[in-house]
A and B are shown apart, each in its own frame.
Chain A
Amino acid sequence: MTASERRPRLLYLAFYFPPSRASGVYRARATANHFAAAGWDVTVFAAPLGFLYDVIGSTDEKLLDTVDPRITVERPELDTFRWEHELQNMSWFRGTLPTVSKKFFDWREARQFPEQYVSWARSSVAKALKLHRREKFDAVLATGNPFSAFAAGWAIGKLAKIPYVIDYRDSWTLDLFKDEPAYPPKHPTWKWERRVIGKSAATVFVNNALRDWHADRYPKAADRMMVVPNGWDPDLLELPPAEPAEPATTPQRPLKFGYLGTVTTHQPVEEMAEAFRIARAHPDLAGAELNLFGHLGFFKHSHASFLPRLGLDAAGQVDPATDAGLRLRGPVSKTEVSSVYADSDVLVFLAAGGRYVTSGKIFEYMATGRPIVSVHAPDIAAREVLEGYPLWFHADSLDPEKLAQSFVEAGQAAREAGPEVRAAARRHADTFKRDTLLAPLEARMRTLVRPSTVQEVSS
C-alpha cells in the first residue's frame, strides 16, 4: 500500500458558465480551466440549460467547447416562477390565485436572500452537500453575480466545514456609476455581505479601488482581500498582426479609429463625438473615421436616442451638417472581432463610470498592441492597468479640446510607432493574460486545502 496524493477538489459556483455568453462568463470559464489545468478536480455549479436557452436566450455553443473536459458541470435547479409565462405550465394555486401566489413567492424569496436567483443557491447547497458526502470537496469558490452564490458558498462552507472564497466579478453593494452604496442602510443585503465576507477565507476583487472600498467597510477582513483583474483570454482572441493590414504610413490613407462594444447611456458619447470632430481638422486625421462596432444601447429601440448624440441622422446615416466622422458598423460576431482589431489603426476606449470601473474590453485592446485613446472620467480604475502601456493616449479630462489632442497624438503614433514600441505594448498586455492573473488565486486556494485531505491511501 502506498500513500498517493489525491487531487484537491474544488466546487466552483458560477451561475453564468458556458454555453451562456453573458459578459461575466469569460472569467468563470477561465477560472475553471485554470484550476483544472493546475491539477484541481473541478466541479462547476452553473445555471440550468433551460434557463439559458428559454429565458435568457443568449448562448454560444462554441464557448462550451472551450471548457476543459476534465471539469464536471452540474446544473442545480432554479425556480423559474418569475420567468414562467405559459398558463399551461402553471399550477392550480398560481393559476387561480395569482396575486396570493406571487406574494407568497416574493415573501419566501425575500426571507432567504434578497435576490431573484436564491432558489438556485438553495439547490446548490443541497446538491453540494450530497456530493460532498460522496466525495469531499476541499474548497468552494463562488463568483457573483448572482450574489446568492456567495450565500451558497457561505452555507456550504459552514455545513461542510470547508473554506470558501468569494469572487466579486461584479459590484454588489456599490453602485459603480454613482460611486455610492447601492442599497439603503437597513437593507438585508448589508447583513449578508457582512456575513459572507466575514467568514470567507479570501475575497477577490477585479481592481484595487473596489478592494479598498470593501476593505474600508470590512476592516477585519481586509487582510484576506485580494485583486485578480479580468485580463484577456489568448485562446479566445486571435491576435491581429502587430501592424495594421494596410500600414497607416501609406500616403494619404485616412486613419481608422475603432470602438468595439455596446454604447450605453452612461458613456461620454457626446464628448467623444465632439472631440473626434475637432481632431479631424488636424492634417494627420484628415478623412479619419471612428467606426463603432456593436449595439447602441441594450434594448431594441434604444438606438434612436443615441443617433443625434453621435451626429447621425434617424437612419444612422451620416448627416453632413453634423458629421463628426463617426460610422455605425453594427454588431460583430466573436469570430469577426479579430478582423475588426486588425483593420483599426487606433482603438478608442470609451467607458462609463468612475474610479471603480475597469472594463473587460481594455485587456483585449492592449493585447492588440494598437494605440489606445481614453475617453472616460480621469479617475477611472482602468488607469491602473493602462499605466505602462506605451501606446496609451489620455487627456485626463472629458474636455473635447483636450480629448481631440489625444486623438491626434494617437493617430500620429499609429503612423509612426515602430515594431519595438508595438512589441513593448504587447509585452505589457502579456502581463494581463488570464492565466497569469489567476495564478495567485490558485496559489492562495491551495494554501487553504488541509494537507490531510489530499492524502489518500491507495493500494
Chain B
Amino acid sequence: MSTPAGPVTKPRVVVIALSYKLTTRVKSYVQDLVDAGVDVDLLVAESSSTQDADLDPQVRVHRVLDVEASDITIRRIERGLLFTLPAKAFGKARSLTVGRPALKKVDAGLALTRRAQSKVSKGIHKKMFWPTFRVMRPLILSRRGQGPAVDLDLAHADRIVAADQPAVPLAWRLSRRYPGVRTTTALDRKPYVGDK
C-alpha cells in the first residue's frame, strides 16, 4: 500500500524592483524563476513600471503607487509651484494683453518673463529638485511600500529580493521585520534553477 504524497509546495520568491522601468536583468531573473516553477510576486513602483514589460502571466504584479507623479505629495507640490501655477498665472496675464496694441510692450515683457521663468523652473527641477528627490525616492517608496509588501504574506516567502538600488530601503526594513526570511540583493538563480 502506498502512502499518498502530500501537496508539493512551490518555493515562493518576492522580488522588489522600484526603478521606473523593469530592467532586462530583472525581467530575465523573474522569467528564469517562473520557468523553474517558482511562485513569483513582483512589487513595482507604479502602474507604468511594467508597461511593455511583456511579463509571464504567472508573475503576480503588485504596485506601491498608481501614478508616482501624482501620488507623491512632494512631486505634486513641486510640479504645481514650478510649472502649473506659473503657467496659469502667465496664461491669465497674457490673455489680458495679447492682441491689444496699447499693451504690446507689456505683452512682450510678459512673454520674455515667461520664457525666463520656464528656463529657471526647468533648471531648478533638473539641478536641485531631481538630484535630491532621487536620493529621497527610495525612502519615500520604502514608507509607502510597507503596506503593499506586508500584504504579500512575507513570513511564508523563501526569500525577498531587492532587485535594484531603489528597492534596498524597503527590503532592508522588511529584513528587520522578517529576520527569518532571507533578504538579499543577489539575483541568484542557483537554488531554484541549479547549474543549468
Contacts and interface: CB of A to CB of B under 8 A. Distances in A.
Given A86-B183, A98-B165, A98-B168, 13 more contacts: A86-B184, A87-B162, A87-B168, A87-B172, A87-B183, A87-B185, A88-B182, A90-B168, A90-B172, A96-B169, A99-B134, A99-B135, A300-B195
Q: Which of B142, B162, B172 has the most CB of A within 10 A?
A: B172
Chief secondary structure at chain B's binding surface: helix
A97 B179 CA distance: 20
Contacts of B195: 300
A314 B139 CA distance: 48
B171 interface: yes
Nearest to B174: A87
Given A95-B172, A96-B169, A300-B195, A86 B138 contact: no
Contact of A98 (B138, B175, B184, B186): B138
Nearest to B138: A98
Given A86-B183, A86-B184, A95 B169 contact: yes
A86 B172 contact: no
A300 B175 CA distance: 31
B138 A99 contact: yes
Contacts, number: 47
Interface string A89-106: 010001111111010000
Interface string A50-91: 000000000000000000000000000000000001111010
Interface residues of B, number: 22
Contacts of A85: 184-186
Interface in B77-120: none
Nearest to B136: A97
Q: Which 7 A-B pairs have the closest CB atoms?
A: A95-B172, A87-B175, A85-B186, A87-B183, A98-B168, A85-B185, A88-B175
Nearest to B175: A87
A97 B169 CA distance: 7
Interface in B179-196: 179, 182-186, 195
A341 to B, nearest CB: 28
Contacts of B135: 97, 99-100
26 contacts: A86-B182, A86-B184, A87-B162, A87-B168, A87-B174, A87-B175, A87-B183, A87-B184, A87-B185, A88-B182, A90-B168, A90-B172, A94-B168, A95-B168, A95-B169, A95-B173, A95-B175, A96-B139, A96-B142, A96-B172, A97-B135, A97-B139, A97-B169, A98-B165, A98-B169, A99-B138
Interface string A424-437: 00000000000000
Nearest to B184: A85
Nearest to A300: B195
Contacts of B134: 99
A85 B183 CA distance: 9
Contacts of A96: 139, 142, 169, 172
A98 B162 CA distance: 12
A317 to B, nearest CB: 18
Contacts of A86: 182-184
Nearest to B195: A300
A51 to B, nearest CB: 16
Contacts of B174: 87
B171 to A, nearest CB: 5
A107 B160 CA distance: 29
Q: Which of A87, A96, A300 has the most CB of B within 10 A?
A: A87
A87 B195 CA distance: 25
Contacts of B175: 87-88, 95
B20 to A, nearest CB: 15
A100 B182 CA distance: 24
Q: Which of A90, A94, A98 has the most CB of B within 10 A?
A: A98
A54 to B, nearest CB: 12
Interface string A386-430: 000000000000000000000000000000000000000000000
Interface string B117-145: 00000000000000000110011001000
Contacts of A99: 134-135, 138, 165
A81 to B, nearest CB: 12
A87 B160 CA distance: 10
A100 B166 CA distance: 12
A458 to B, nearest CB: 55
Contacts of A94: 168, 172
Contacts of B172: 87, 90, 94-96
Contacts of B165: 98-99, 102
A88, A100, A300 — which one has the most chain B CB atoms within 10 A of its CB? A88
B179 A88 contact: yes
A57 B139 CA distance: 34
Nearest to B172: A95
A96 B174 CA distance: 12
